[in-house]
């Protein structure tokens, strides 16, 4: 499977699994130091096809593709420029994680071993108008600190990583643990996190 096909498949999977809605969300993958593939503006990802993907430089020059690139591409550009180790960016609106973005609460990731493993420290960013340079710039300090998961107040989430698969794994785990926690909250049950020492032992056993 080529890079474009993989981006399309995982973008469709995110939509089909309810990790974004309607025309919401935008996804990209790095081609080289200065070029990426990105999804088009205002597209329903379930219907995405390889021909819809746009090749664009990090200085906002469209190289291939007939559509308009995502309106939030400035965020993608900044992430790739700040983090040469990053090869994929997914920005989406998953229901349960976005509920935390709207309530401005922290997600207790130590509720599940998988979440403790994949999510680790999450950055919580203040609201900025989507698509603006101000929106992109708010990521900078946390990118420099090495964060890979961002909860965007009253907006959604952005997840970044070294591969499309790695990003998707973190994204689905993030929304799953959010769903578990919110289900417990709604039922009035207490949320019990795994002891920090047990989390540390678990991670050390995996040599992480």
Task: pLDDT tens for the chain, 208 residues: list them.
Answer: 899 999 999 999 999 999 999 999 999 999 999 999 999 999 999 999 999 999 999 999 999 999 999 999 999 999 999 999 999 999 999 999 999 999 999 999 999 999 999 998 899 999 999 999 999 999 999 999 999 999 999 999 999 999 999 999 999 999 999 999 999 999 999 999 999 999 999 999 987 5
Delineate the domains of the chain, giving CATH numbers in brackets. Answer: 3-205 (3.40.225.10)
Strand residue runs (E) in the chain: 26-32, 35-38, 54-57, 62-64, 88-92, 123-125, 149-152, 156-161
Q: How far is residue 95's CA from residue 115's CA, in Å, rounded to a whole number?
A: 17
Rounded to whole angstroms, the Cα distance separating 15 from 45 reads: 6
Q: Would you please indicate which residues are annotated as catalytic (active-site) residues? A: 72
Q: Which residues contact 144 (CB under 8 A, 6 or more apart)?
A: 82
List all residues 6 or more positions away from 190 whose beta carbon is below 8 Å from its beta carbon: 184
What tokens does 63 get? 């190289």
């Amino acid at each position: 499977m080529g890079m474009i096909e993989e981006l399309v498949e995982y973008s469709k999977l995110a939509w089909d699994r309810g990790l974004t809605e309607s025309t919401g969300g935008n996804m990209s993958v790095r081609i080289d130091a200065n070029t990426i593939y990105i999804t088009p503006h205002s597209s329903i990802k379930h219907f995405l096809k390889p021909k819809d993907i746009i090749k664009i430089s990090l200085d906002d020059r469209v190289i291939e593709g007939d559509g308009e690139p995502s309106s939030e591409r400035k965020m993608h550009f900044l992430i790739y420029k700040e983090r040469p180790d990053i090869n994929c960016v997914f920005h989406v609106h998953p229901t349960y994680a976005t509920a935390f973005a709207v309530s401005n609460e922290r997600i207790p990731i130590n509720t599940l071993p998988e979440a403790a493993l994949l999510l680790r420290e999450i950055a919580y960013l203040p609201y900025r108008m989507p698509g603006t340079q101000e929106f992109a710039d708010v990521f900078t300090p946390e990118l420099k600190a090495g964060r890979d998961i961002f909860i965007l107040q009253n907006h959604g989430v952005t997840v970044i990583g070294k591969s499309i698969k790695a990003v998707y794994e973190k994204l689905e785990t993030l929304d799953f643990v959010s769903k578990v926690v919110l289900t417990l909250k709604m039922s009035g049950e207490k949320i019990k996190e795994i002891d920090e020492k047990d989390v540390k032992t678990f991670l050390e056993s995996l040599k992480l």
